[in-house]
């Protein structure tokens, strides 16, 4: 058995509609290669960055994904060959060209992606009334219409200025 660590650029469409691994982002692969009778069994774990869109507030979601999968690469009808030789050859092939794993990687990653990503677990989302982001600007509208609210604010501000009668100038 041998192990191999690789970093490969993420292929395109390692993603679902709302979230995914950006194309070209580094995907870390830890591979364990085992000779079995029929070929080489590759057990892989992959770690990759994720970028997506929060389903509540439409803000950016950054996360990581960890998946593991295994895949048997069968020898083309070559059971008599010495397995160790095949393993060495296979490793050379893998290091030069890791695309063989791409489909398995994609299947595993796509299955692991959240269908409803949140920017944070308690994301407050967007205000149903004014559309503002409630994470950045927590508020509620009570019963006052928003236009009245701003009018009220300016009236209050005016009050503060003119509330007290000007003191008589010192003699």
User: How many residues interact with Zn ion (rule CB under 5 A)?
Assistant: 9
In the block, tokens 């300016």 appear at: 154
Q: Are 10 and 23 in contact (CB under 8 A)?
A: yes
Min separation Cβ 32 and Zn ion, Å: 38
The span of 36-44, 64-72, 83-91, 124-132 binding Zn ion (CB under 5 A) equals: 124-132
Q: Is 119 in the site for Zn ion (CB under 5 A)?
A: yes
CA dist., res. 116 & res. 129, Å (int) = 23
Could you give the 3-state DSSP secondary structure of residue 166? Answer: coil
The span of 62-70, 72-80, 120-128, 157-165 binding Zn ion (CB under 5 A) equals: 120-128
Write out the H or E segment, with its range, that includes residue 6.
strand 2-9
Print the binding letters for residues 52-71 with Zn ion: x by CB under 5 A, - otherwise: --x-xx-x------------
CA dist., res. 16 & res. 110, Å (int) = 7
User: Where do contacts with Zn ion occur on this chain (CB under 5 A)?
Assistant: 54, 56-57, 59, 119, 123, 127, 129-130
């Amino acid at each position: 058995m041998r192990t191999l660590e690789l970093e490969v650029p993420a292929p395109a469409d390692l993603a679902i509609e709302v979230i995914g691994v950006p194309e070209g982002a580094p995907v870390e692969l830890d591979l364990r290669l085992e000779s079995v009778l029929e070929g080489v069994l590759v057990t892989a774990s992959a770690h990759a960055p994720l970028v997506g869109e929060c389903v509540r507030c439409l803000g950016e979601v950054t996360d990581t994904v960890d998946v593991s999968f295994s895949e048997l690469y069968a020898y083309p009808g070559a059971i008599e060959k010495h397995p160790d030789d095949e393993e060495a050859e296979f490793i050379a092939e893998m290091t030069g060209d890791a695309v063989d794993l791409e489909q398995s990687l994609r299947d595993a990653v796509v299955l692991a992606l959240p269908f409803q990503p949140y920017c944070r677990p308690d994301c407050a989302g967007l205000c149903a009334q004014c559309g503002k982001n409630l994470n950045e600007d927590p508020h509620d509208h009570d019963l006052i219409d928003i236009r009245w609210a701003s009018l009220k604010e300016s009236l209050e501000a005016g009050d503060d200025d003119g509330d007290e009668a000007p003191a008589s100038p010192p003699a």
